Amino acid sequence: MSNRLRVLILAPFGDAGIDAINGFGDAVHEDWRDTGVMWDPEELGARLTKERFDAVVIERDFLFEETFATAENLKIAAICRAAVNQIDVDAATVHGVVVLNTPGRNANAVAELTIGLMLAVARRISESERYVREGLWQSPSDPYTALRGAELSGRTLGIVGFGAIGRRVAEICKAIGMNIIVHDPYVDSDAVEAFGASARSLDDLIRTADVITLHAPPAPASTENGEPLLGATRIATMKARSIVINTASAELVDTDALAAALAEGRLAGAGYDIFETAPIEPSHPFLKLDNVVITPHIGGATDETIERHSRMISEDLGRFVRGETPVNLVNPDVWARRRG
């Protein structure tokens, strides 16, 4: 195994992570936010070969079969995301390339934005700001009535998906004073109860929760009638004046059915950070609703997220050089072959 790695970093990356890599290798950093470049997979493979890179780190780019077939020296492909759908892992495995990811890198960031959206909807913060900026605040007392909101403390929060983000949301909301119920068919009820929460069926959670927050992977058709996880049928069973927060996937919700319930005033509001397209379509029904708080897919957009994934990847690259098993190893078969 090589004693040093030559690493091409095409993602946002912290200085400490680059310094760590330079301690056992040579890092070339080309942040896509600065270059504006999104590489063609085959051209990237050719560059990796020409410049003799042993490892490549991506966030925005894609690594396909043609990348791995062309990159003759490549030993490691790392992605600054938990999901690895931008990498053809099977092709990487065939070509003997170790794949690394960064699970949980943005869990706290997304959790905190989720809380922010909850508070913004419950306390009508966006509406209140517009009220002031547009010169509608003419009376000292009118906003006290016109913009009256609701407190989160004492309310029931329903968390759908209890991975790293859902658990962090539970921790924060428990401190706020909310009652926590959870639905996640892949998490044991004992693990849910360890967080001071209660495991529920999805339908029970939707009927019971004052606030529903989604942290599950995309599920375009999760019911027998082809509706998404939160489709028109389930939206009809939600508590009156409840709130929906979605920082996970637009595919989880029937947007038109939710918009209709919000427009009717049957639901209190929604907070959304994820949409069917990016940017949002100008005709999107949420844009017409004052009780929807919208953010432009910024859930993980924090400096701390970058520092976290930089540390995770630089530490795993260091482990690779030392012959230790990387912590966030996606295809262990390749590592076993290399060790063998």
The answer regarding whether domain 107-294 maps to CATH 3.40.50.720 reads: yes
CA atoms within 13 A on the CB side of 16: 10
Domain 5-105+302-339 and domain 107-294, same fold? Reply is: yes
The token pair at 180 is 């926590």
Q: String of b and e for 37-49 (b: at least 16 CB within 10 Å)? A: eebebeebbebbe
Query: What class, spelled out in words, does domain 5-105+302-339 have in CATH?
Result: alpha beta
Q: Given this model, what pLDDT does residue 339 score?
A: 78
**Domain spans in the chain, listed from the N-terminal domain onward:** 5-105+302-339, 107-294
**Residue-wise DSSP of 12-62:** ---HHHHHHHHHHEEEEE--HHHH-----HHHHHHHHHHTT-SEEEESS--
- Looking at the predicted structure, is the pLDDT value of residue 198 above 70? yes
Instruction: For residues 244 and 161, give the distance between their C-alpha atoms in angstroms, rounded to a whole number.
Output: 14
> Residue 225 — very low, low, confident or very high, per pLDDT cuts 50/70/90?
confident
pLDDT tens, residue by residue, 16-71: 999 999 999 999 999 999 999 999 999 999 999 999 999 999 999 999 999 999 99
Instruction: For residues 161 and 192, give the distance between their C-alpha atoms in angstroms, rounded to a whole number.
Output: 11
Whole-model pTM: value is 0.93
Mean pLDDT of 159-172: 97
Tokens 């560059």 -> residue:
47
pLDDT tens, residue by residue, 66-98: 999 999 999 999 999 999 999 999 999 999 999
